[in-house]
């Protein structure tokens, strides 16, 4: 159990790093007692402070590190989850300024929007599909506050799993009308293909990633609720962006979209 003063210290470090756009050292170097479970407590405290001080509201969840390749690259051994706030959502028509980010990167995702709560005792893939109102193409902007984008699993969890912004497409699709394992995805930067993949790159099926998170939340007395957005995890590696870069995603059976970055 974290002492209140230590929890507040870590929360303040992470909150100020994002606000002031400055890199920080890994929390685990200063607070070796930071475990995965205590990191989720820090995350909750950080998001609550952001919600309170920024006058925003909770809008959903995001999964991170859902592919084995990404886990190996970052030196971690399991996925993570983070929280989304309404002021993180970017309007699809608006250009995105590069100014707020430290290590900004963008990645393609499939978002689930829920029509029912995901309750226990155990949430299955079938439960996720039955509780989904629709799925929609999405992109997530991630931005670690740690030096050189380097961290342990507890570090990244405390930092709200590198959450920063998210963009949703316009075309809503019935989850039963798409193939959540074989559906293809093409991710482009400035018209050039960065990556091609299938939906199965996210834990074999993105709905399986949502179920994994739902079960983790239940162990902490929390749950995914009706109306919330869930970003199910990156289908490809994240791409660094700069001013004037344009990114596009296209899916088989799920409409894609483009975004552009400005100064």
35-77 pLDDT tens trace: 999 999 999 999 999 999 999 999 999 999 897 767 776 677 7
Task: Output the pTM of the full model.
Answer: 0.96
d(CA 231, CA 153): 19
Helix axes 4-20, 36-54, angle to 10 degrees: 60
Structural domains in the chain (count): 1
Quickly count: other Cβ atoms within 10 Å of residue 16's Cβ.
13
Average pLDDT, the chain: 95
Q: Mean pLDDT check: name the lowest of 47-56, 73-82, 166-175.
A: 73-82
Q: Domain of 162: which CATH number?
A: 3.90.850.10
SS3 content of the chain, % helix, strand, coil (to 5): 35, 30, 35
- pLDDT band at residue 253 using 50, 70 and 90 as cut-offs: confident
Q: What is the pLDDT of residue 69?
A: 66
CA angle in degrees (0–180, nearest 5) for 179-111-239 = 100
Q: What is the pLDDT of residue 63?
A: 98
Whether residue 137 is predicted with pLDDT greater than 70 in this model: the reply is yes
- Strand-pairing partners, residue 244, are none
- Chain mean position to CA 258: 19
d(CA 218, CA 224): 9
Domain that holds residue 244: 4-262
Q: What is the pLDDT of residue 181?
A: 94
CA angle in degrees (0–180, nearest 5) for 136-142-147 = 170
Whether residue 1 is predicted with pLDDT greater than 80 in this model: the reply is no
- Give 153: exposed, middle or buried? Use CB within 10 Å, 0-12, 13-18, 19+: buried
d(CA 21, CA 30): 20
Task: Summarize pLDDT for 206-248 with one digit per residue, the tens.
Answer: 999 999 999 999 999 999 999 999 999 999 989 999 999 999 9
Q: What is the pLDDT of residue 78?
A: 83
Q: What is the pLDDT of residue 83?
A: 98
- pLDDT band at residue 183 using 50, 70 and 90 as cut-offs: very high
Q: What is the pLDDT of residue 161?
A: 96
- pLDDT over 90 for what percent of the chain? 90
């Amino acid at each position: 159990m974290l002492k209140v003063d230590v929890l507040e210290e870590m929360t303040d470090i992470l909150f100020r790093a994002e606000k002031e756009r400055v890199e920080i050292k890994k929390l685990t170097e200063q607070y070796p007692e930071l475990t995965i479970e205590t990191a989720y407590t820090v995350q909750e405290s950080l998001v609550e402070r952001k919600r309170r001080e920024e006058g925003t509201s909770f809008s959903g969840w995001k999964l991170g590190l859902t592919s084995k390749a990404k886990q190996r690259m970052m030196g971690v051994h399991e996925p993570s989850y983070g929280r989304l706030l309404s002021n993180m959502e970017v309007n699809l028509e608006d250009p995105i300024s590069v100014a707020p980010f430290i290590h900004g990167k963008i990645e393609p995702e499939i978002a689930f929007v829920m029509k029912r709560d995901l309750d226990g005792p155990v949430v299955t893939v079938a439960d996720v599909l039955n509780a989904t109102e629709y799925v929609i193409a999405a992109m997530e902007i991630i931005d670690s506050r740690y030096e050189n984008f380097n961290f342990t699993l507890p570090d990244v969890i405390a930092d709200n799993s590198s959450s920063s912004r998210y963009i949703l497409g316009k075309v809503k699709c019935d989850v039963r009308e798409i193939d959540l394992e074989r559906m293809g995805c093409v991710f482009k930067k400035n018209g050039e293909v960065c990556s091609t993949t299938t939906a199965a790159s996210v834990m074999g099926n993105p709905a399986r990633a949502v179920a994994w998170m739902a079960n983790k939340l239940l162990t902490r007395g929390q749950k995914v609720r009706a109306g919330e957005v869930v970003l199910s995890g990156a289908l490809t590696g994240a791409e660094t962006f700069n001013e004037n870069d344009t990114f596009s995603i296209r899916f088989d059976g799920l409409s894609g979209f483009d975004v552009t970055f400005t100064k």
